[in-house]
């Protein structure tokens, strides 16, 4: 699979273009979750030991051309603080003086390029644009698994012009996902949540053939319950996916996968001057469902305790707001406790799910927490990632 292993000696004193994913959430000028900035720490440490000059490249948000609020210069204080290092900013990687700024920087600095998505050529996977960026460096490393489902220039075109390798964080995530499918101890359980069934159909089709237990939450669970005829949950649309759901349920039976659905829900009720919540069951005629209920939490906990490995993608309710964080938080705490005790291998992924784990303060107790969103989902669906396919004869870093 890999042409050769790379040691520190192989990349000494090189200029290395490191594709990271610094697409972090920010509110009122404050970064809400630093995980993605910290994610590339092992690779940065590896390159620093080699005396290499590191050129960081990333996107942020979905700008249409230059947008001041999405300039990566606003991430410099956080990057400098996390890595205790001076950051040199290149405000336009296509300018003639970009290479001069990089050459003038100290190997002890980190060099940060401006938001790649300010250039339309990035999302168009333009070879000329990729070649211009590649000319700034001697070597390319992709450490952005989370962006590798995108056919973008910095992911798929730059490897044409530079010797290249996967970063340490990238390889770790790839190995963990392969481990879940091929080597993780059984019983294997997957928990899939989220508000829209449409975004998880292909994931469910693949997982149902691979796991022993499949637990559903959020609007996805509501759609399946509506399929079974629970009229109280008709707020969750399922009709256009009826054939897909029949296929999933048929494969669950064929492959011996136990489907676990919530038995109660936490719903919003409106009173004269305030809102409150109530616990409803499948026979109640209520809407505005925002979380699974306490009996469902206990049901999920029971199945977690019976499992050796759990993979979780998608929150079980509106975890951002109390009291509708109860389901997601309670299940997360059960997984964290058993992982900490060495009784469970836990793999958590998806942007919202990962953020929830940070919010609940249990990151360190999990076996692995992915910072990926769409790429995590794409890989679990059984699809190849363009960012992997593009790396012909890649090398691999060795600590």
What CATH number is given for 5-169 in this structure? 3.40.50.1260
Q: CA-based angle 5:374:252, to the nearest 5?
A: 100
Architecture of domain 184-263+291-380: 3-Layer(aba) Sandwich (3.40)
- β 275-281/264-270 pair status: antiparallel
Q: Give the SS3 label for residue 223.
A: helix
User: Residue 150: which pLDDT band, with cuts at 50, 70 and 90?
Assistant: very high
Position 360 pLDDT exceeds 90: yes
Supply the DSSP string of 105-132, one letter for each residue.
S-TTSEEEE--GGGSHHHHTT-HHHHHH
User: Residue 1: which pLDDT band, with cuts at 50, 70 and 90?
Assistant: very low
Distance CA 121, CA 130 (A): 8
Buried b (16+ CB within 10 A) or exposed e, 91-120: eebeeeebeebbeebeeebbbbbbbbbbbe
Mean pLDDT, all residues of the chain: 90
DSSP letter, residue 385: P
Tens digits of residue pLDDT in 275-334: 556 676 655 555 577 899 999 999 999 999 999 999 999 999 989 888 889 999 999 999
For 346-361, what is the mean pLDDT? Answer: 89
Tens digits of residue pLDDT in 162-217: 999 999 999 999 999 999 999 999 999 999 998 888 889 999 999 999 999 999 99
Would you give the end-to-end CA distance of the chain in angstroms?
18
For 38-65, what is the mean pLDDT? Answer: 95
Confidence at residue 2, expressed as pLDDT on a 0 to 100 scale: 46
Residue 172 CA, distance from chain mean position: 13
Q: What is the pTM of this model?
A: 0.88
| Contact (CB, 8 A) for 269 and 276 | yes
Please list, in sequence order, all residues whose beta carbon lies within 8 angstroms of the beta carbon of residue 220, skipping any fewer than 6 positions away: 192, 193, 194, 195, 196, 197, 200, 204, 314
Q: What does the domain layout of the chain look like in residue ranges?
A: 5-169, 184-263+291-380
| Contact (CB, 8 A) for 206 and 382 | yes
Backbone angles phi, psi at 107, to 5 degrees: -60, -20
């Amino acid at each position: 699979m890999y042409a050769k292993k790379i040691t520190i000696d192989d990349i000494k004193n090189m200029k290395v273009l490191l594709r990271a994913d610094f697409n972090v959430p920010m509110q009122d000028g404050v970064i809400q979750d630093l995980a993605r900035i910290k994610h590339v720490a092992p690779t940065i440490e590896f390159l620093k030991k080699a005396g290499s000059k590191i050129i960081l490249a990333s996107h942020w948000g979905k700008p249409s051309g230059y947008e001041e609020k999405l300039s990566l210069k606003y991430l410099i204080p956080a990057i400098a603080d996390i890595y205790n290092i001076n950051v040199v900013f290149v405000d336009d990687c296509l300018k003639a003086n970009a290479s001069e700024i990089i050459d003038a920087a100290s190997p002890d600095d980190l060099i940060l390029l401006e938001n790649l998505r300010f250039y339309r050529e990035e999302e168009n996977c333009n070879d000329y644009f990729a070649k211009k960026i590649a000319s700034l460096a001697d070597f390319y490393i992709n450490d952005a698994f989370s962006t590798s489902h995108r056919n973008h220039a910095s992911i798929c075109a730059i490897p044409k012009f530079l010797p290249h390798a996967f970063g340490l964080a990238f390889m770790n995530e790839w190995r963990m996902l392969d481990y879940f499918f091929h080597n993780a101890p059984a019983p294997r359980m997957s928990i899939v949540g989220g508000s829209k069934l449409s975004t998880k159909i292909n994931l469910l089709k693949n997982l149902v053939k691979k796991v022993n237990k499949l637990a559903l939450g959020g609007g996805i669970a509501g759609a399946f319950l509506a399929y079974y005829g629970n009229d109280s949950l008709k707020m969750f649309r399922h009709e256009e996916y009826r054939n897909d759901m029949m296929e999933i349920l048929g494969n669950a039976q064929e492959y011996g996968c136990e489907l676990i659905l919530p038995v109660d829900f936490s719903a919003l009720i409106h009173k004269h001057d305030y809102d409150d919540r109530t616990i409803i069951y499948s026979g109640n005629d209520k809407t505005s469902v925002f979380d699974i209920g306490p009996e469902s939490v206990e049901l999920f906990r029971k199945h977690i305790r019976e499992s050796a490995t759990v993979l979780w993608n998608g929150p079980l309710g509106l975890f951002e707001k109390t009291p509708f964080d109860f389901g997601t938080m309670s299940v997360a705490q059960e997984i964290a406790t058993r992982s900490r005790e060495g009784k469970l291998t836990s793999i958590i992924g998806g942007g919202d799910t990962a953020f929830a784990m940070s919010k609940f303060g249990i990151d360190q107790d999990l076996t692995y927490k992915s910072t990926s969103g769409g790429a995590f989902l794409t890989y679990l669906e059984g699809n190849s990632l363009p960012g992997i396919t593009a790396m012909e004869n890649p090398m691999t870093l060795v600590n």
